[in-house]
Amino acid sequence: MKINDVILQAVAKVVVFIILTLGIYLFFSGHNEPGGGFIGGLVLASALVLLFLSFDIESVKKGIPVDFKKVAALGTLLAVGSGLGALFFDAPFLTQAFSYFDLPILGETELATMMIFEAGVALAVVGVVGTIILSISEDV
């Protein structure tokens, strides 16, 4: 169904950018502060839902040609794989390792294996929410 609400579409273009920025911030701050992969993924998925509500499904699918089922599967595989990686070093499942690296723009930055798990959770959440929204839209 073609939606022709110019005001909603104009506002959505700006708000989606703000929501995506907040989702990325929540994802990266979640390691040491409230947030993380699940909450960041939900916020990122809410931007996707706003796009689906503001524009028609076919237009969004053309702009974002992603199979959300594959995104959910990739996220789950990444999250589980990050836990299995510890087993190769004779450590318990989901053991976290971290170190500090001197990155060009960011300077000294802590990188942890938990970020891989959080990225997997975020991808799984975005994939599941996208799949649910598209499944509901097919029934209507």
Burial 60-70 (b: 16+ CB within 10 A, else e): beeeeeeebee
Q: What is the pLDDT of residue 2?
A: 65
Q: What pLDDT is recorded for position 111?
A: 82
Distance (Å) of CA 65 to CA 28, 35, 77, 78: 25, 28, 21, 21
Provide the token pair at 53: 């509500």
Side chain identity at 62, as an amino acid letter?
K
Q: What are the pLDDT tens digits along the chain (140 aa)?
A: 666 788 999 999 999 999 999 999 998 887 677 778 899 999 999 999 999 989 888 888 898 899 999 999 999 999 999 888 888 888 898 888 888 988 888 888 888 888 899 999 999 999 999 999 999 988 76
Residue 79's closest CA among 97, 94, 59?
94
- pLDDT for 42: 94
**The 3-state secondary structure of 28-77, one letter per residue:** HHCCCCCCCHHHHHHHHHHHHHHHHHHCCHHHHHHHCCCCHHHHHHHHHH
* DSSP summary character for residue 100: E
CA dist 92 → 31, 95, 117 (Å): 20, 6, 15
48 within 8 A of 133, measured Cβ to Cβ: yes
